[in-house]
Amino acid sequence: MSKYETIIGLEVHAELRTKSKLFCDCSTTFGAEPNTQVCPICLGLPGVLPVLNKQAVEYAIEAALALNCEIQPYNKFDRKNYFYPDLPKAYQISQYDLPLARNGYVTIHVDGKTKKIGITRIHLEEEAGKSVHSGDNILGSEYSLEDYNRTGIPLIEIVSEPDMRSPAEAYAYLTTLKNILQYTGVSDCKMEEGSLRCDANISIRPVGSDKFGTKVELKNLNSFRAVQKALEYEEKRQAKLLDRGEKVIQETRHWDESTGRTHSMRSKEEANDYRYFPEPDLVPVVISTEWIEKVRERLPELPEAKWQRFVHEYGLPEYDTELIISNRDMAEFFEATVKLHNDPKTVSNWVMGELTRLLKESGQAITESKVTPEVLARVIKLVDKGTISNTAAKTVLEESFKTGKDPDDIVKEKGLAQISDTAELEKVVAEVIAANPQSVEDFRNGKDRAIGFLVGQVMKATKGRANPKLVNELLRKKLQ
C-alpha cells in the first residue's frame, strides 16, 4: 500500500437514549413485538402533527459539546423525500442545510501517535423502520417484512471529515466516538441492537497527490471490526484497479461478512434526489447560550481528559489507560481505588486482570460487583504488608467477589495468612532440598532456573502460604 494513500471518512448514526420517540410519544424500548410501538405519527397518516421531544434535543446538544462542536443557534427540520419500504411516510424528518452542530473533533491514539479527526457536522433526525428479508439478504428476497417500532426513534448523524488515513485509524475513531457517547450517556451505542451504525467512505490516491480519488461508500458494516476489515479489503481492491490502469467507480458497495468482500449494490431505483424542503409541521428550534451552558455543566469528565490524566498524573502505560478508560464505570472504580491505595500500576493490574476476569465470567458489570474499591484496596494492602501472597490475594478477591465477605475475614477463615516465620519455613526448605537432589545439583552447577522449581515445591508444601520472597532467600542461603 505504500504507493497509495488511503482517505477515509465515516458517517455514524447513533440512537439517542430517550424513552419516547422524536416526534411522538411511542415507546423506544428495544425488542418489542413488531409494530406494537407505532402510532399515526410514525405511520404518517393524514392529519397528524409531530411535536419535538425536548430531551432528544438536549442529548444531541450534549453529544455535540462532547465532540467539541459549535452549536448552531437556529435550527429547523427538513423533509428528505425518498421511497423505501422502511420509511412509511416516504420522507424522513432530518436537518439539511442547518445542522445542529458543526466543526468538532475527536482525539484518537493510534500506535503511540495522537491525532485529531475533524467532525464536519452533527444533525438530528428520525430513525427508519426495520426490514426483515425473506431470503438470506436483501438481494433476491421475494418479499420483506417491515417493523415500524424503530421508526421515529431519535438519531444523531455524525459526519467526520475525510481525515483518517488507515482502517486502523477508522477503528480507533469509532471506538473513541462510542466511548465519548457512552460517557455522556446520550446513547447506549449497542451495535447488536442497531443503536450505533456506521457507513464508510473510502478513496485512495497516489502518495503526494493532493486531489481526492473517486470515493466508494461502504454499507452493511455491522461491527467496528467489520468496518476495519471492509476498509482493508476496499483499499486493496481500489489499488489493484489503479495498478491495472482502471478506474474506481463511484458507487455504494455492500460488505459481505461471510466472504470478506465488498460487492456493488445498486438499488432498483437509485434516486439521490431527495428534494429537501423545510418541514412545515415543526417550528424552528432556537438554542440559546444559556441552554447550551446548562447542558455543558452536565458533561462528565470525558475520555480524552481522563486519558491525559491517567498517563501524566498516574504514570500509567498507554495500554492500561486505553483499556481502563474504555469503560467509564471502570475508570471511576480505578480512581476510587487509587484514592484508597496510591499505587496506580498495581491497582490497574488488578482491575485489568483478576477483576475483569471475574466480571467476564459472571457477566456482571463493574457497578454490580461485590468487590468495591474498598475491598480491592484492602486486598492489595494485605499483599503489600506481606500478610498474604499474591496467589492467596487472588483467592481472597474471588471469594469476596462471590460472597461479598470482608477480605480480612476470608484470610482468617481460609487460613491464607502467609508464613513469614523463618524457623517454620526453614524446616520445609530443608525437607524440599532433601527430596530434590537433582534440582539442587542443577542449581549448584549454575542453572539458576532450578531455584524456581524449588520455591514452587516449598509453596506446594505450604499450600501456597509461604512468603515466596523469604523462601527464595532461605533456599539461596542453604544452597550456597
Q: What CA dihedral angle connects 67, 71, 72 and 78, to 10 degrees?
A: 50
Q: Are strands 216-221 and 252-256 parallel, antiparallel or unpaired?
A: parallel
Selected from 12, 38, 174, 347, the binder of other proteins by CB under 8 A is 38
Nearest to 92 by CA among 75, 79, 107, 103: 79
How many residues are there in the chain?
480
Residues 266-305, mask of contacts with other proteins (x by CB under 8 A): -xx--x-x-x--x-x-xxxxx-------------------
Selected from 1, 103, 139, 313, the binder of other proteins by CB under 8 A is 139
Taking the least distance from each CB to other proteins, the nearer of 54 and 312 is 54
Taking the least distance from each CB to other proteins, the nearer of 38 and 331 is 38
Q: Residue 43, interface with other proteins (CB under 8 A)?
A: yes
Nearest to 287 by CA among 135, 74, 476, 48: 74
At 68, is the secondary structure helix, strand, or coil?
coil
Taking the least distance from each CB to other proteins, the nearer of 39 and 242 is 39
Q: What gap in Å lies between CA 67 and CA 96, rounded to an integer?
A: 20
Selected from 6, 37, 160, 166, the binder of other proteins by CB under 8 A is 37
Selected from 1, 51, 249, 365, the binder of other proteins by CB under 8 A is 51
- Residue 344 Cβ vs other proteins, minimum distance, rounded to whole Å: 40
For the record, the C-alpha cell of 164 comes out as: 483518517
Q: Find the part of the chain contacting other proteins (CB under 8 A) among 20-28, 219-227, 327-335, 401-409.
A: 20-28
- Using CB atoms within 10 Å of the CB of residue 151, give its burial: 0 to 12 exposed, 13 to 18 middle, 19+ buried: buried
- Residue 208 Cβ vs other proteins, minimum distance, rounded to whole Å: 40
Which residues make beta-bridge pairs with 202?
A: 8, 216
Selected from 148, 183, 307, 350, the binder of other proteins by CB under 8 A is 148
Q: What does DSSP assign to residue 177?
A: H
Taking the least distance from each CB to other proteins, the nearer of 154 and 407 is 154
Selected from 5, 27, 336, 346, the binder of other proteins by CB under 8 A is 27
Within 232-271, which residues bind other proteins (CB under 8 A)? 265, 267-268, 271
Q: Residue 142, interface with other proteins (CB under 8 A)?
A: yes
Q: Residue 146, interface with other proteins (CB under 8 A)?
A: yes
Please enumerate in sequence order all residues whose Cβ is within 8 A of that of 122, keeping only pairs 6 or more positions apart, or say none. Answer: 60, 63, 64, 67, 69, 99, 100, 101, 102, 104, 156, 157, 158, 159
Taking the least distance from each CB to other proteins, the nearer of 19 and 345 is 19
Q: Residue 31, interface with other proteins (CB under 8 A)?
A: no
- Using CB atoms within 10 Å of the CB of residue 37, give its burial: 0 to 12 exposed, 13 to 18 middle, 19+ buried: buried
Which residues make beta-bridge pairs with 122?
A: 101, 158
Q: Residue 26, interface with other proteins (CB under 8 A)?
A: yes
Q: Residue 144, interface with other proteins (CB under 8 A)?
A: yes
DSSP result, 277-301: EE-TTS--EE--HHHHHHHHHH---
Chain residues binding other proteins by CB under 8 A are 18-20, 25-29, 33-40, 43, 51-57, 76, 81, 83-85, 88, 131-133, 138-148, 265, 267-268, 271, 273, 275, 278, 280, 282-286
